[in-house]
């Protein structure tokens, strides 16, 4: 009978599958003496069933069994995600060289010949249990590294103060969006926002307040954007917003809303008012790039500043 009981993690767990009770007994006693935990199954189906409940470090699998033989059990275990990575050692008679070759082809890591030699058996089991342990350690490390890499990748594209995309990444994203828009024939617009008189905010209230203003302005812009829009910190007090599938008119309406939302913010400091100006750029030519669109938006932004600030300019068209 299979023995399903609770196993602790301190000792390796080995599943022995053999149709002969005396084989199970001999193997079991050799392995137990070396402090391995043992689970047993007396036929192929039972082995497959037992593996739904336990995850051994190693399987010792008899080849010749009535019903589902060892090779078929191995084949089925290698098909399942949950059992694919469990190491299998086949138990074969010395003369069955064809079995040995087939076992390796099916994904076994080793074989042990009957009658069992305790020293050889323990040496092979120990090797594969340790390989499994090392593999688990490496897999955990890879997991950990992948997690850390994802954090690093995020940091590499993020502005540390405002938590939106940084200068180089927003330009990369804009270039990607220009290609996508050109390919699909979609409109695409950008707005370059600039906080009015930001230097005097810093000079009057200090850089801490200046930073607070940058964060609050960022959040206010973000709240007004749709999921599909992209925002980045272009420079000190400049924000670049990319509006996908949006024409100049739609971009102007959205940018005006943002400007008004900023204007309506209330601040904890006497006489502090924050306004932004914005300049819009749209795709106009086949060979447009981030640089050409930003140049257009910058010209409009310059015009907004010239025309008294706290306003959005969208160019002629």
Task: For residue 122, state whether it binds Mg ion (rule: CB under 5 A).
Answer: no
Distance CA(13)–CA(39), nearest Å, equals: 7
- Applying CB under 5 A, the span of 15-23, 29-37, 99-107, 284-292 interacting with Mg ion comes to 15-23
**Closer to Mg ion by Cβ: residue 17 or 164:** 17
Task: For residue 196, state whether it binds Mg ion (rule: CB under 5 A).
Answer: no
Distance CA(185)–CA(294), nearest Å, equals: 20
Among the listed residues 120, 237, 286, 313, the single catalytic one is 237
- Applying CB under 5 A, the span of 13-21, 74-82, 274-282, 294-302 interacting with Mg ion comes to 13-21
Is-catalytic flag, 237? Answer: yes
Half-sphere exposure of 285 (CA within 13 A, CB side): 8
**Closer to Mg ion by Cβ: residue 18 or 159:** 18
The least CB distance from residue 89 to Mg ion, in Å, is: 14
Query: Are 147 and 266 contacting, i.e. CB atoms less than 8 angstroms apart?
Result: no
Q: Which of 13, 54, 64, 68 binds Mg ion (CB under 5 A)?
A: 64
The least CB distance from residue 30 to Mg ion, in Å, is: 17
Task: For residue 99, state whether it binds Mg ion (rule: CB under 5 A).
Answer: no
Q: Which of 12, 15, 17, 19 binds Mg ion (CB under 5 A)?
A: 19
**Which contiguous run of DSSP H or E holds residue 121?**
helix 118-157
Among residues 273, 231, 275, 280, the alpha carbon closest in space to that of 255 is found at 280
**How many residues form the binding site for Mg ion (CB under 5 A)?**
4
Distance CA(76)–CA(48), nearest Å, equals: 8
Task: For residue 69, state whether it binds Mg ion (rule: CB under 5 A).
Answer: no
Task: For residue 159, state whether it binds Mg ion (rule: CB under 5 A).
Answer: no
**Closer to Mg ion by Cβ: residue 76 or 197:** 76
Distance CA(39)–CA(130), nearest Å, equals: 19
Q: How many helices (H) and strands (E) does the chain have?
A: 10, 10
Task: For residue 229, state whether it binds Mg ion (rule: CB under 5 A).
Answer: no
**Closer to Mg ion by Cβ: residue 67 or 250:** 67
Token pair 């924050």 is at which residue?
Answer: 274
**Closer to Mg ion by Cβ: residue 65 or 164:** 65
The least CB distance from residue 100 to Mg ion, in Å, is: 15
Q: Which of 36, 39, 62, 242 binds Mg ion (CB under 5 A)?
A: 62
Q: Which residue is nearest to Mg ion (CB)?
A: 64
The least CB distance from residue 60 to Mg ion, in Å, is: 12
The least CB distance from residue 122 to Mg ion, in Å, is: 21
Any residues with CB less than 8 A from the CB of 278 and at least 6 apart, and which? 191, 192, 193, 194, 255, 258, 259, 300, 301, 304, 311, 312, 313
Distance CA(174)–CA(231), nearest Å, equals: 10
Torsion angles phi and psi, residue 251, rounded to 5? -65, -40
Give the burial string for 9-38 (b: 16+ CB within 10 Å, else e).
Answer: eeebbbbbbbbeeebbebbbebbeeeebbb
Catalytic amino acids? 237
Contact residues: Mg ion, CB under 5 A: 19, 62, 64-65
């Amino acid at each position: 009978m299979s023995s399903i009981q609770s196993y602790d993690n301190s000792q390796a767990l080995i599943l022995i599958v053999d149709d002969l009770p005396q084989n199970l007994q001999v193997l079991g006693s050799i392995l137990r003496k070396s402090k391995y935990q043992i689970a047993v199954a007396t036929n192929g189906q039972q082995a497959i069933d037992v593996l739904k409940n336990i995850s051994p470090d190693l399987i010792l699998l008899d080849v010749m069994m009535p019903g589902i033989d060892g090779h078929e059990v191995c084949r089925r275990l290698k098909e399942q995600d949950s059992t694919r990575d469990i190491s299998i050692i086949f138990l074969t008679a010395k003369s069955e060289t064809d079995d040995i070759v087939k076992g390796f082809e099916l994904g076994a890591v080793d074989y042990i010949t009957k009658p069992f030699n305790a020293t050889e058996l323990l040496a092979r089991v120990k090797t594969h249990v340790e390989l499994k342990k090392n593999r688990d350690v490496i897999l955990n490390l890879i997991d950990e590294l992948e997690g850390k890499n994802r954090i690093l990748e995020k940091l590499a594209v993020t502005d540390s103060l405002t938590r939106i995309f940084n200068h180089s990444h927003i330009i990369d994203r804009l270039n990607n969006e220009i290609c996508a828009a050109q390919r699909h024939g979609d409109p695409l617009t950008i707005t370059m926002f600039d906080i009015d008189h930001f230097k005097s905010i810093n000079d009057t209230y200090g850089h801490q307040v200046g930073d607070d203003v940058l964060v609050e302005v960022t959040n206010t812009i973000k709240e007004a954007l749709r999921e599909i829009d992209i925002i980045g910190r272009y420079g000190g007090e400049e924000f670049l917003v990319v509006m996908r599938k949006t024409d100049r008119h739609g971009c102007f309406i959205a940018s005006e809303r943002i400007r008004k939302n900023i204007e309506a913010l209330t601040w904890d400091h006497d006489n502090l008012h924050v306004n932004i100006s914005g300049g819009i750029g749209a795709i106009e030519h086949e060979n447009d790039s981030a640089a050409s669109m930003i140049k257009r938006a910058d010209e409009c932004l310059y015009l907004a500043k010239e025309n008294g600030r706290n306003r959005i300019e969208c160019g002629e068209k």
